[in-house]
A = this chain, B = another copy of it.
Amino acid sequence: MEYKLADRMSYLKASEIREILKVTERPEVISFAGGLPAPELFPIEAIQEASNRVFEEEGYKALQYTTTEGYRPLREWISNRMNKRWQTAFEPDNIVLTHGSQQALDLSGKVFLDQGDIVLCESPTYLAAISAFKAYGCEFIEVPTDNEGMITSQVESILETQGNRVKLIYVIPDFQNPTGRTWSLRRREQLVKLATKYEIVIIEDNPYGELRFEGEMLPSLQSFDDVGCVVSLGSFSKVFCPGYRIGWVMAHEKLIEKYVLVKQGADLQCNTMAQMVISKYLELYNIDEHIDKIRDVYRQRRDAAIEVMEKEFPKEVKFTRPEGGLFAWVELPTHINARVVLEKCLEKNVAFVPGGSFFPNGGNENTLRLNFSNMPVDRIKEGLKCLARVLNQLNIT
Task: State whether A110 touches B65 (Cβ < 8 A).
Answer: no
Nearest-Cβ distance from residue A122 to partner chain B, whole angstroms: 19
- Of A37, A61, A64, most B-chain CB atoms within 10 Å: A64
Interface range on chain A: under 10, 10 to 19, 20 to 34, or 35 or more?
35 or more
Closest beta carbon of chain B to A128's beta carbon, Å: 7
For A39, what are the chain B residues with a Cβ–Cβ distance below 8 Å?
Answer: 60-61, 63-64
Indicate how many identical chains form the complex: 2
Complex CA distance for A12 and B111, rounded to whole angstroms: 10
A22-47 toward B: CB 8 Å interface, digit per residue (1/0)?
Answer: 10000000000010110110101001
A143-166 vs B: 1/0 string, CB under 8 Å? 000000000000000000000000
Partner of A243, one of B51, B67, B271: B271
Contact of A244 among B3, B103, B273 (CB under 8 A): B273
Does any Cβ of B come within 8 Å of A68's Cβ?
Answer: yes
Binds B, one of A179-187, A259-267, A302-310: A259-267
Are B1's CB and A229's CB within 8 A? Answer: yes
Which residues on B sit within 8 Å (CB–CB) of A67?
A: 18, 22
Whether A243 and B111, one on each chain, are in contact in the complex, defined by CB atoms closer than 8 angstroms, is no
Is A385 in contact with chain B by the CB < 8 A criterion? no
Mask of A1-14 contacts with B, CB within 8 angstroms, 1/0: 11111111100111
Q: Which residues of B contact A78 (CB under 8 A)?
A: none
**Nearest neighbor of A15 in chain B, beta-carbon distance:** B264
Task: Check A55 against B51 for contact (C-beta < 8 Å).
Answer: yes
Does any Cβ of B come within 8 Å of A99's Cβ? yes
Contact partners of A229 in chain B: CB under 8 A: 1
Residues in B with CB closer than 8 Å to A244 are 63, 271-273
CB distance A36 to B64 under 8 Å?
yes
CB–CB A255/B3 < 8 A: yes
Q: Which of B60, B136, B167 contacts A4 (CB 8 A)?
A: B167
Known contacts A40-B60, A274-B274, A265 near B4 by CB under 8 Å: no
Q: Mark out the residues of chain A between 38 and 88 whose CB falls within 8 Å of any chain B CB in the assembled complex.
A: 39-40, 42, 44, 47-48, 51-52, 55-56, 59-68
Q: Are A265 and B131 in contact (CB under 8 A)?
A: yes
Shortest Cβ distance from A45 into chain B, in angstroms? 8
On whether the beta carbons of A36 and B18 are closer than 8 Å, the reply is no
Known: A12-B261, A18-B68, A44-B55. 9 other contacts (CB 8 A): A1-B252, A5-B258, A6-B111, A9-B258, A36-B64, A42-B64, A63-B241, A102-B265, A134-B265
Residues of A at under 8 Å CB distance from B? 1-9, 12-15, 18, 22, 34, 36-37, 39-40, 42, 44, 47-48, 51-52, 55-56, 59-68, 99-100, 102-103, 106, 110-115, 117, 128, 131-132, 134-136, 167, 196, 199, 201, 227-229, 237, 241-245, 252, 254-255, 258, 260-262, 264-274
List the 8 closest A-B pairs by CB distance, nearest first.
Answer: A243-B272, A63-B241, A63-B243, A39-B60, A131-B265, A48-B55, A103-B267, A1-B227
